[in-house]
Structure 1
Amino acid sequence: MIPYTALAEAPLKVGKGPGLLLAHGAGSDIQDSYGPVIDRIAESNTVIGPDYPGSGNTRLPEEALTLDGLADYLVASAVRAGVDSFALSGFSMGTAIAVRAATRHPERVTALILSSGFAFPNPRLRLVIETWRSLGKRPEEARILAAYLSLVVGGAEWLDGRSPDEVEEQLALFAAGMPPGTDEQLAVFDHIDVREDLGRIAVPTLVISPTGDLITTPAHSRQLVDGIPGAELLTLDCGHAIATERPDEWAAAITEFLAGVNA
């Protein structure tokens, strides 16, 4: 079988300064999860942004995706890009991958930023993923899946502020299709549990919790903060998709935290 580390295309690498490795969400890619903030955070960091197997130009491996495999793949991508140590910013499912990477590769990870994250999918999150996977397997339901994702990804206030044309534009974007490896990435949720990893984190950690997040609710962020020694909590008034709703605040939080860590 082809190991994950042999699948990666050259990852995004921009900016200058200390390394910052990005871990995007499931059913997404680097540009979708982090696009609006990349230029800003690259002003003071060397940003490495690999796409997971099944996203972007990275093909799926022959075996099923696993949390450990994705964590190793992420770290290997940074090393192959010439960055041997780095802070790790995870978004959504990327937070669990980041935590696992920090415990499997402690010699490389200097800090963690966990946004819209979770340690273990609670019943509500499992239902979100189950519904997403079910609708995603029925191409004729593309618009229903798009409507469902719009309802849970965006904060209620943000979505209510969209014009009818803007809502249709978002529905068309979702209905156009997810990355080809979306279902395989979502299947990883069945096995994610990093609760025992949390107490082993020994690097500065910032947990960013959107107060209106309907997918990974604030209770998930609180579990991360309570479990990671010395972790800091920052709240943002938005839904799950921070890059869409609060890009400036998110970029500022990341850069200010890393400036303090690097100082």
Structure 2
Amino acid sequence: MTRAADIDRPDVIASGAGRPLVLAHGAGGAVDLNFGDVIAALSARRRLVGVNYPGSGSTPRQSRPLELEALADGLVAAAVADGHDRFPILGLSLGCAVAVTAAQRHPDRVSGLFLTVGFARADAQIRLVVDVWRHLAATDPTTLARLLVALSSPHVLSTLDPAATERAVVDTAASLPDGGPDQALLAATLDITTDAAAVSVPTTVVVAGQDRIVLPTTTRALARTIPGARVLEYPDAGHIFTPSEASTWIDDIGDFLDTHGL
């Protein structure tokens, strides 16, 4: 049974035309923020559908804790309401857990999973980042933005002079959704190990080799849990991809969809 009604007035983002690809965004993100490049590149031949979690986009923030099942059910309900009976899901970070949960709860709907920088359960790194994130979100959002920039890949940080660093901090602070702390808390407390082990649809897992939010070893552990999952390694990538890394990612998404006829 879907539980879309559990999310108050969900903000559904849909664009493009063609076969569907459903988008599950990350904690502290939003559909347009996390998947803007994907939407721009694929909307000429794909129907892209996503839902902003409570506190992102125009979905109201909830007073109650977020539930992974409600996010998964709401995502599936939005895709079905858009006219699609069966569809693959592209997940990013927390969105990977949403995608896996959707596949487990709606096996008749989910046809494939492309999971990017995800995890089955939080490790010490994720828990510590979330603890600091939630504290700074309540007390000093600008310093939170500095922390998130500081967690960029070494390659990205090496390209930032002082002025570019400050621009990155300002841009990051402006993009922080009100519901980010709630989404981060869910990320730090979930455990989808059992559901991941039961995945039976084609699955690819992308590992970012320089990720300092979701460690590459943690994403590889997710991949090992999913039967038959293919692993793609992006050795120099951090949690947020550069434009060139995003271009490779989009090509890999397209190859996955084409290979499996999704």
- Judge same fold: TM > 0.5, yes or no: yes
Q: Is the 8 A contact 1:209 1:233 kept in 2?
A: yes
Q: Is the 8 A contact 1:41 1:254 kept in 2?
A: no
Q: Is 1:38 the equivalent of 2:36?
A: no
CA distance in 1, matches of 2:7, 2:215: 32
Greater shift, 206-215 or 41-50, is seen at 41-50
Q: Is 1:226 the equivalent of 2:233?
A: no
Q: Is the 8 A contact 1:5 1:77 kept in 2?
A: no
Q: After TM superposition, where is structure 1 displaced by more than 4 Å over at least 4 residues in a row?
A: none
Quote the residue 2:5 is aligned against. 3
Identical residues among aligned pairs (%): 35
Count of aligned pairs between the two proteins: 259
**What's the C-alpha RMSD, in Å, of the aligned pairs?**
1.9
CA distance in 2, matches of 1:97, 1:56: 18
Deviation at 1:45, TM superposition (A): 2.0
CA distance in 2, matches of 1:189, 1:208: 18
Quote the residue 2:164 is aligned against. 166
Quote the residue 1:131 is aligned against. 132
Quote the residue 2:179 is aligned against. 181
CA distance in 2, matches of 1:243, 1:33: 12
Deviation at 1:144, TM superposition (A): 1.6
CA distance in 2, matches of 1:43, 1:208: 24
Q: Which amino acid aligns with 2:254?
A: T
Quote the residue 2:19 is aligned against. 18
Q: Is the 8 A contact 1:238 1:245 kept in 2?
A: no
Q: Give TM-score scaled by structure 2 length.
A: 0.93
Q: Is the 8 A contact 1:33 1:243 kept in 2?
A: no
Q: Is the 8 A contact 2:142 2:173 kept in 1?
A: yes
Q: Is the 8 A contact 1:3 1:61 kept in 2?
A: no
CA distance in 1, matches of 2:242, 2:104: 27
Q: Is the 8 A contact 1:53 1:60 kept in 2?
A: yes
Q: Which amino acid aligns with 1:8?
A: P
TM alignment of 1:66-85, pairs within 5 A: 66-85=67-86
- Structure 1, residues 67-118: CA drift from partner, whole Å, max 9, x if none? 1111111111111222221100100110111111110011100000000110
Deviation at 1:43, TM superposition (A): 3.4
TM alignment of 1:54-65, pairs within 5 A: 54-65=55-66
CA distance in 1, matches of 2:94, 2:72: 11
Q: Is the 8 A contact 1:118 1:221 kept in 2?
A: yes
Q: Give TM-score scaled by structure 1 length.
A: 0.92
Q: Which amino acid aligns with 1:246?
A: E
Quote the residue 2:215 is aligned against. 217
Q: Is the 8 A contact 1:243 1:250 kept in 2?
A: no
